[in-house]
A and B are shown apart, each in its own frame.
Chain A
Amino acid sequence: MIKVMIGNHAVSYGVMLSRVQVIPAYPITPQTSIVEELSEFCADGHLNARFIKVESEHSAMACCIGASAAGARTFTATSSQGLALMHEMLHWATGARLPIVMANVNRALGPPWNIWNDQTDSLSQRDTGWLQFYCESNQEVLDTVIQSFKISEEVLLPTMLVLDAFFLSHTAEAVDVPDAQDVDRYLPRYQARYRLDVDNPHSFGNLATPEYYQGFRNKIQDDMIRARTVAKKADEDFESIFHRSYGFTEAYQCEGADLILVTSGTVVSTSRIVIDELRKEGRKVGLLKIRMFRPFPFDDVIGALKDAKKVAVLDRAISFGHSGIFAQEIMSAMYNQPSKPLIYSYITGLGGLDVTPRIITDIINDACERDIPPQESIWIGGKS
């Protein structure tokens, strides 16, 4: 059934179709309408879940941990400062091996106070052990929610799916809402392997001595790596039922490209148009969309970029004192390759700055003109 809906509601529908059982949530712009819609679903009986109002995001995640540990399929959503407040609990969810799924609506962090889009919030949580997916459209958002549960419950690691504030969260698009029976077929009821059970009491998360601790952490990394295989299979299975798939990355017009632009989220959509225009002008440019950020899709990235002369990475975040975060990741992925492109780091679109076709074109032109990438990132647009 095709419905016109905003990105946030696409999340809510994905959650409903996934038959989530517990939703602890705390409101924050621009996430709030996700959980608002879910509370309606719970109230009107469309979703048989416990909706728990909590006093902070830290509590929301703590509550998710409790619910998931008890074996419930668990979801929450947050944004920006809210995600930052969860930080401690994000690590815990990973170490406790809980397949929690969370939607994070990318929003800048204050101060200066700002409610608009950039990726600093989710990228700051890069090392917490959560899988991360960056979505481009409302359809992708809905589908990724369902896929996330599928992957997480297999590898027992939590997943964060990320969508751009306002550009997706509050923008309506036509979305094909899958049939509930099909989703049930794709995503059966969650059967927890380890579960808090009052009738069979165990304590979890107990102290581990140094000789053992590293082993537990090593197993997390093993499963992160395994998550690539699992996610690939989940995407293929999804395609066989719903006729849509997304991959970890998407190479657009990269065939024979001298310069490839790398980016994520809604900037990808705008970039497609720019690339099309420049291709018409006969310029050899391509585009690589990064959808899966953790685990990092090394093979896909290397495969797409190894033959290009230059790569321009457009980041909607900055690691202060270093460079764009996606740029770092791309550089490190390519470093050991025998043939590798020059990699340029561009920072733009912070705090909701509109990344227009003009800005994207300027970035491509700038990269083409510079023979050698400068050590520091290049800031484009705004007052920078």
Chain B
Amino acid sequence: MGKQITFDKKEDLPLVTSSFESMAWNKTGDWRYLKPIFQDKTPPCNNSCPAGEDVQGYLYLAQKKKYKEAWNLIKEENPLPAVCGRACMHPCEDSCNRGEFDEPINISAIERFLADNAIKQGYILPPIKRKKKKEKIAIIGSGPAGLSCAYQLKRIGYQVTIFEALPALGGMLRIGIPDYRLPKDILEHEIDTILELGIQIQTKARIDKETIAKDMKDFHAIFIATGCHKSIRLGIAGGDSRSVISGLDFLKDIHFGKKVPLGKKVAVIGGGNTAIDTARLALRLGAKPFILYRRTPAEMPAIKSEVIQAENEGIEISYLTAPTRIISKGNRVTALECVKNRTGPPDSSGNKTLIEIKDSHFPIEVDNIISAIGEIPDISILPEEVDLENRLIVTDESLKTTMNGVFAGGDVKSPLRSIAHAIGSGKRAAIAIDRYLKAKTLEDVMDTIRIGDGPGLSMRSYLQRDDPSRRKTKQVVRYKDINIDYFEQKPRHAVKTLSIEERVSSKKEVHLGFPCETALQEAGRCFNCGVCNHCDNCYIFCSDLAVIKHKGKTRNTIDYDHCKGCGVCIEECPRDAMYMEREEK
């Protein structure tokens, strides 16, 4: 206890009571029965990213203008941010808590800015510090799954060779996404940064069961990521006709510079991204394409914003319209007979059933028909030991197939065909292969590396799993957990787009990137859900001075000798980066 001062007379008294020595001897922490604890939680964007990006982490770095660090952070999880910043369907934005406040953060545009900025500034990845391992791994397919797996395995230290059937790497990113959405120089730049790590490549190397059995004996593990490159045939009269072009073949042929003769009236059948891209590419080649989709707009699997752009460009989409017959004159297609559908009650899978409207058949004059109703894997190349189900490879959680040492990921394994899922599965396979080669299981580390309760795994957590500091809990922060008193409504910054005239007369990229200033402002809208961003509200509000600040980036700590557990720090934390624990006494 401090020294007590006594006064004899009124005249000796000061005007106000005051202390002249520290009161720290009074350990008021004894009074506490609830204990506040600093603990980062999982932001919803991170939780929903199939590629396992630390979205909040790089938005935070972007807020601090640390663009290089932000890019590095993405690259730890995903080698293709310039691709994802353009072509990912960004589930992160759908789950963004800001969406319930005003509008979600434009995460994809910020990701693209960071990646484009890295290209512009010529940033290179930090060198791999891990010891080179002797084991060799074969990656079959160089789409996002294959590239992601190769990249992460290389970072772990393995020797990696990619086998690609086509003359150039990229898989569906190269042939399936036209230049106006993903310029090829951007794709190539990102692929180069992966290859620069020292990855062997073999292009025009189509693999089949024999080569897998013979030529891959030297490899300690194989990752199959051959994707879905076979178009589903149109199952209608005349559908097998040579005059019906497959959407994917069309995109591929145009990419490799083949001439595809098109008339004016081009009917594109389907509602996925291939259908939309096919129609928009045909438009740029001078045709007047239109899209026929048998279901409703709500069920359309294509990225919504791309559908809107297609419509803006003047492409008409007829919904609940299904082709029934192709009418030809000689070798030439002249018309497409269609029927109108209506929706019925949902079936067992939850999709609305389609009911043909009687006598609603009608012909549409067409010059070409492009069928883009879906793609499936080419399973003829797979060894018999690899089990299939619904034409997809069967694996366990660790992406292990039924054949020893063979893993599979990406579209050839998963029905959830998206770039981010493919990148995520490549990473999952890389971790699983590392575990396999060490005779350990993926399951043992899942709790450490899984992001929240979502689909993504964190490579950073995997590589730094001995360091539990700043690891986030699985709890996903929701809008109700945010103290919105600390935020003001600010509209989302939209990216600018090329004028319609400029788009259709060129193959130029439709979406223009954010300028630096806009990216900074947009990143500044982030709530940083569940993650301490050193706002110091806890420090400011603590009436017991029990929140201790430290120099540098070290986060605040709590002086439990004096914290009374009043909880004001938790109440005033804008982003729920703390929690309260009951103390048993």
Which residues of A are in contact with B by a Cβ distance under 8 Å?
95-97, 156, 193-194, 202-208, 212, 215-216, 218-219
For this complex, 24 residue pairs linking A to B, each with C-beta atoms less than 8 Å apart, are A97-B15, A97-B16, A156-B15, A194-B14, A194-B15, A194-B16, A194-B18, A202-B20, A203-B18, A203-B19, A204-B17, A204-B18, A205-B17, A205-B18, A206-B19, A208-B17, A212-B7, A212-B13, A215-B13, A216-B13, A216-B15, A216-B16, A216-B17, A219-B15
A202 to B17, CA, bound (A): 10
Does B10 touch A at the CB level, under 8 Å? yes
Write the chain B residue with the least CB distance to A156. B15
Decide if A202 touches B7 in the complex (CB within 8 Å).
no
3 residue pairs, one from A and one from B, having the closest CB atoms: A206-B17, A202-B18, A203-B19
Chief secondary structure at chain B's binding surface: loop
Known: A202-B20, A203-B23. A215 touches B15 (CB 8 A): no
Residue numbers in A under 8 Å from B10 (CB-CB): 215, 218-219
Write the chain A residue with the least CB distance to B7. A212
How far in angstroms is the closest Cβ of chain B from A289? 33
Residue numbers in A under 8 Å from B16 (CB-CB): 95-97, 194, 204-205, 216
Partner of B18, one of A95, A156, A206, A212: A206
How far in angstroms is the closest Cβ of chain A from B572? 14
A97 to B14, CA, bound (A): 11
Q: Which of B1-21 contact A (CB under 8 A)?
A: 7, 10, 13-20
A219 to B18, CA, bound (A): 16
A193 to B17, CA, bound (A): 13
How far in angstroms is the closest Cβ of chain A from B102? 23
A206 to B23, CA, bound (A): 11
A219 to B19, CA, bound (A): 19
How far in angstroms is the closest Cβ of chain B from A196? 10
Residue numbers in A under 8 Å from B18 (CB-CB): 194, 202-206
Decide if A202 touches B19 in the complex (CB within 8 Å).
yes
Write the chain B residue with the least CB distance to A207. B17
Residue numbers in B under 8 Å from A205 (CB-CB): 16-18
Taking A205-B18, A215-B7 as known contacts, 14 extra A-B pairs with beta carbons closer than 8 A to each other, sorted by chain A number, are A95-B16, A97-B15, A97-B16, A193-B15, A202-B18, A202-B19, A204-B18, A206-B17, A208-B17, A212-B7, A212-B17, A215-B13, A216-B13, A219-B13
For B7, B10, B16, the residue with the greatest tally of chain A CB atoms inside 10 Å of its CB is B16
Residue numbers in B under 8 Å from A96 (CB-CB): 16
Residue numbers in A under 8 Å from B13 (CB-CB): 212, 215-216, 219
Write the chain A residue with the least CB distance to B20. A202
Residue numbers in B under 8 Å from A206 (CB-CB): 17-19
Residue numbers in B under 8 Å from A219 (CB-CB): 10, 13, 15
Residue numbers in B under 8 Å from A218 (CB-CB): 10
For B10, B13, B15, B19, the residue with the greatest tally of chain A CB atoms inside 10 Å of its CB is B15
How far in angstroms is the closest Cβ of chain A from B133? 56
Residue numbers in A under 8 Å from B14 (CB-CB): 194
Q: Which of B450-476 contact A (CB under 8 A)?
A: none
Write the chain A residue with the least CB distance to B12. A215
- How does the 8 Å CB contact mask read for B178-221 relative to A, with 1 for contact and 0 for none? 00000000000000000000000000000000000000000000
Write the chain B residue with the least CB distance to A220. B15
A294 to B7, CA, bound (A): 30
A65 to B7, CA, bound (A): 27
A218 to B16, CA, bound (A): 12
Write the chain B residue with the least CB distance to A203. B19
Write the chain A residue with the least CB distance to B13. A215
Residue numbers in A under 8 Å from B23 (CB-CB): 203
Residue numbers in A under 8 Å from B19 (CB-CB): 202-203, 206
How far in angstroms is the closest Cβ of chain A from B113? 36
Write the chain A residue with the least CB distance to B9. A215
How far in angstroms is the closest Cβ of chain A from B512? 39
A203 to B545, CA, bound (A): 12
How far in angstroms is the closest Cβ of chain A from B541? 14
How far in angstroms is the closest Cβ of chain B from A209? 10
Residue numbers in A under 8 Å from B7 (CB-CB): 212, 215
A95 to B13, CA, bound (A): 14
Write the chain B residue with the least CB distance to A95. B16
A219 to B15, CA, bound (A): 7
Write the chain A residue with the least CB distance to B19. A203
How far in angstroms is the closest Cβ of chain B from A260? 39
A156 to B19, CA, bound (A): 19
Residue numbers in B under 8 Å from A207 (CB-CB): 17
Residue numbers in B under 8 Å from A215 (CB-CB): 7, 10, 13
A204 to B15, CA, bound (A): 10
How far in angstroms is the closest Cβ of chain A from B96? 29
How far in angstroms is the closest Cβ of chain A from B19? 5
Write the chain B residue with the least CB distance to A202. B18
